[in-house]
Structure 1
Amino acid sequence: MKHLKALNKYFWKYRVRLSIGVFFIIISNYFGVLAPQIIGFIIDFSQRTLPGYQPKAKRAVYDVAVTRFIKYVEGLTYSPIQIVVLCGIIILALALLRGFFMFLMRQTIIVMSRHIEYDQKNEVFEKYQTLDATFYKTHSTGDLMSRMAEDVSRVRMFTGPAVMYLINLITLISMSVFFMFKRQPELTIYVLAPLPILAFIIYYVNTIIHRKSEALQAALGSLTTNAQQSYSGIRVIKSFVQEASMFHQFEENSERYKQQAVGLAKVEALYFPSMTLLIGLSTLLTIMIGGIYYINGTKDIGIDTIVEFVIYINMLTFPVSAIGWTASMIQRASASQKRLNEFLQTRPSVPIESSKRELSLTGDIVFRNVDFTYAHTGIHALKHFNLHITAGQRIAVVGRTGSGKTTLAQLLMRMFDVNSGKILVDGIDIKDIDLLSLRKQISYVPQDGFLFSDSIANNIAFGAMNLPPEAVRESARLAVVSRDIEGFPKGYETEIGERGVTLSGGQKQRISIARALMKQAPILIMDDCLSAVDARTEKEIIGNLKVYLEGKTSILITHRIFSLLNFDKVIVLEEGAIVEEGTHEELLDKKGIYYKMYMRQLREDES
Structure 2
Amino acid sequence: MKHLSAANKYFWKYRKRLLIGAFFVIASNYFGVLAPEITGYIVNKVQQHLPGAAQVNNKTTYNSTVNFFVAWVEKLNFTQVVLVCSLTILLLALLRGLFMFMMRQTLIVMSRLIEFDMKNEVYNHYQQLDAGFYKVNRTGDLMNRISEDISRVRMYTGPAVMYFVNLVSLIAFCVVNMLRKDVYLSMMVLAPLPILAITIYFVNTLIHKKSEQVQGALSDLTTNAQESYSGIRVIKSFVQEKAMLYFFKANSETYRKNAIGLAKTEAIYFPSMTLMVGLSTLLTILIGGNMALEHPDKIGIIVEFVIYINMLSFPVTAIGSVASMVQRAAASQKRLNEFLQTTPNIQSPAPTAADTQQLNGDIAFNNVSFTYQHTGIQALKHFNLTIKEGQKILVLGRTGSGKSTMAQLLLRFFDANEGNITINGKDLRNIPLHNLRNNISYVPQDVFLFSDTVAGNISFGLPHIADMNTITHAATMAGIHQELSDLPNGYETMVGERGVTLSGGQKQRLSIARALIKQPRIMVFDDCLSAVDAKTEHLIINNLYKVMENKTAILITHRIFTVLNFDQIVIIDEGTIIEQGTHAELMALKGYYAELYQMQMSQDNAA
Please name the residue that 1:260 is paired with. Answer: 258
CA drift of 1:599 comes to 2.0
CA drift of 1:56 comes to 5.2
Identity %: 60
- Supply the RMSD in Å over aligned alpha carbons: 1.3
Of 369, 372, 396, the match for 1:371: 369
Residues 469-480 of structure 1 aligned to structure 2 (within 5 Å): 469-480=468-479
CA distance in structure 1 between the aligned counterparts of 2:351 and 2:341, rounded to whole angstroms: 21
Of 349, 359, 362, the match for 1:361: 359
Please name the residue that 2:201 is paired with. Answer: 203
Residues 174-213 of structure 1 aligned to structure 2 (within 5 Å): 174-213=172-211
CA distance in structure 1 between the aligned counterparts of 2:605 and 2:233, rounded to whole angstroms: 32
Q: Is the 8 A contact 1:216 1:257 kept in 2?
A: yes
CA distance in structure 1 between the aligned counterparts of 2:432 and 2:142, rounded to whole angstroms: 27
Q: Is the 8 A contact 2:443 2:511 kept in 1?
A: yes
Alpha-carbon spacing, 1:539–1:271, altered in 2? closer, same or farther (3 Å): same
CA drift of 1:55 comes to 5.2
Q: Secondary structure at the match of 1:449?
A: coil
Of 410, 413, 437, the match for 1:412: 410
CA drift of 1:26 comes to 0.6
Name the count of aligned residue pairs.
603
Please name the residue that 1:540 is paired with. Answer: 539
Gaps of 5+ in 2: none
CA drift of 1:466 comes to 5.5
Of 111, 129, 154, the match for 1:131: 129
Q: What's the CA shift string for 1:339-384, capped at 9, x where partnerless?
A: 1111011100002343453332101001111111111111101111
CA distance in structure 2 between the aligned counterparts of 1:374 and 1:359, rounded to whole angstroms: 32
CA distance in structure 2 between the aligned counterparts of 1:523 and 1:98, rounded to whole angstroms: 68
CA distance in structure 2 between the aligned counterparts of 1:600 and 1:249, rounded to whole angstroms: 45
Q: Which amino acid aligns with 1:129?
A: Q
CA distance in structure 1 between the aligned counterparts of 2:565 and 2:255, rounded to whole angstroms: 58
Please name the residue that 1:387 is paired with. Answer: 385
Of 272, 275, 281, the match for 1:274: 272
Q: Is the 8 A contact 1:130 1:352 kept in 2?
A: no
Please name the residue that 2:20 is paired with. Answer: 20
CA distance in structure 2 between the aligned counterparts of 1:605 and 1:24, rounded to whole angstroms: 81
Q: Please say if 1:319 is aligned against 2:318.
A: no
Q: What's the CA shift string for 1:128-186, capped at 9, x where partnerless?
A: 10000011001111111111111111111111111111111111011111111111111
CA drift of 1:112 comes to 0.7
Of 298, 301, 306, the match for 1:305: 301
CA distance in structure 2 between the aligned counterparts of 1:240 and 1:100, rounded to whole angstroms: 62
CA drift of 1:604 comes to 3.0
Please name the residue that 1:332 is paired with. Answer: 328
CA drift of 1:127 comes to 0.7
Q: Is the 8 A contact 2:73 2:81 kept in 1?
A: yes
CA drift of 1:52 comes to 4.7
Gaps of 5+ in 1: none
CA distance in structure 2 between the aligned counterparts of 1:355 and 1:275, rounded to whole angstroms: 59
Q: Which amino acid aligns with 1:413?
A: L
CA distance in structure 2 between the aligned counterparts of 1:590 and 1:540, rounded to whole angstroms: 30
Q: Please say if 1:513 is aligned against 2:512.
A: yes
Of 128, 140, 143, the match for 2:141: 143
Please name the residue that 2:37 is paired with. Answer: 37
CA drift of 1:463 comes to 0.7
Q: Please say if 1:48 is aligned against 2:48.
A: yes
Q: Greater CA deviation, 53-62 or 143-152?
A: 53-62
CA distance in structure 2 between the aligned counterparts of 1:469 and 1:315, rounded to whole angstroms: 68
Q: Which amino acid aligns with 1:450?
A: F
Q: Which amino acid aligns with 1:118?
A: F
Please name the residue that 1:64 is paired with. Answer: 64
CA distance in structure 1 between the aligned counterparts of 2:234 and 2:477, rounded to whole angstroms: 32
Please name the residue that 1:496 is paired with. Answer: 495
CA distance in structure 1 between the aligned counterparts of 2:499 and 2:147, rounded to whole angstroms: 25
Q: Is the 8 A contact 1:358 1:433 kept in 2?
A: no
CA distance in structure 1 between the aligned counterparts of 2:136 and 2:176, rounded to whole angstroms: 55
Q: Is the 8 A contact 1:456 1:492 kept in 2?
A: yes
Please name the residue that 1:107 is paired with. Answer: 105
CA distance in structure 1 between the aligned counterparts of 2:441 and 2:545, rounded to whole angstroms: 16
CA distance in structure 2 between the aligned counterparts of 1:456 and 1:108, rounded to whole angstroms: 44
Alpha-carbon spacing, 1:313–1:528, altered in 2? closer, same or farther (3 Å): same
Q: Greater CA deviation, 141-150 or 525-534?
A: 141-150
Q: Secondary structure at the match of 1:554?
A: strand
Q: What's the CA shift string for 1:166-209, capped at 9, x where partnerless?
A: 11111101111111111111111111111111001111111111
Q: Secondary structure at the match of 1:2?
A: coil
CA drift of 1:54 comes to 4.3
Residues 532-571 of structure 1 aligned to structure 2 (within 5 Å): 532-571=531-570
Q: Which amino acid aligns with 1:531?
A: S
CA distance in structure 2 between the aligned counterparts of 1:256 and 1:459, rounded to whole angstroms: 40
Of 243, 247, 250, the match for 2:248: 250
CA distance in structure 1 between the aligned counterparts of 2:28 and 2:137, rounded to whole angstroms: 47
Q: Is the 8 A contact 2:22 2:165 kept in 1?
A: yes
Q: TM-score, normalised by structure 1?
A: 0.98
